[in-house]
Structure 1
Amino acid sequence: MDISTINWLAVLVAALSAFMVGGLWYSTALFGKVWMADCCLDEETIRRRGDKVKIFGLTGLFSLIMAANLAMFLNDPKTDIQWGTTAGLLAGVWTFSAIAIHSLFELKSWRYILVNGGYSVVTLTIMGAIIGVWR
């Protein structure tokens, strides 16, 4: 595979999009309250015990890995926004399924699975669109 043909700026923007989606997705305006309840967390506990440097640093790294991995799958001159979006959606379904399997064994609720899995589907779909349009 020739990774020199990957648009690394698109990969970086796709990775950053995960932060924007996550910030909105897990906000109290959308699914943050549901997610916190199903994780047995509250804002005070997160604020007190959460290591923001570790959490956001590793989130950035893993988002970059996800975007780079998706870009490698989309590393074809025929890739466009339609195929990028479709491939991102398919990757999201893949990760949704993995999240669901782990969560079922952890005895998590379907609500929890839908919140976390839904984030994966939306994020990877957007990443695929960004990489696809910016070939």
Structure 2
Amino acid sequence: MKYQKLFAFTLAICTLTGIGCDSSESLKPTDEQNAFASVAGLGDLAGDEESFANAFVSGSVPENRKDYSERGYEVAGEATFDGDTVTVPVKIFGGVHATGSGEKRNAKASTASETEKTWTLIRVDDKWKIKDAPLS
């Protein structure tokens, strides 16, 4: 999980700043990498209401944002792409501290049990956004 977050962060920095990027198409992140980054980073994004909402397709934002901030997410298998839609098997696990800015944070890690669900993402304006992300 730690390495996926590091990869997503490094990829975002490289993409935004152009560091190490030239005209080579091989350095451009793939659809799969971008979709996986949307999944792996959701726990961190859940710490901020606006960032969390921006991760989802309009009208699909879950009301229980705090529950998402108390869990970690990891791609657990092969994604299935169908045009501008992708389904991704996601391992959801507890044991992480809730993220948040300005909110009281619980000193204890989440005790949520591990489960695996299938999430659906949709490409919106060339970005992968989450349409459906069940926790249980």
Q: Per the shorter chain, which TM-score range?
A: under 0.3
Larger Rg: 1
Q: Which structure has the highest strand share of the two? A: 2
Q: Which structure has the highest helix share of the two? A: 1
Tell me: higher relative CO, structure 1 or 2? Use CA pairs within 8 A at least 6 residues apart: 1
TM-score (norm 2): 0.26
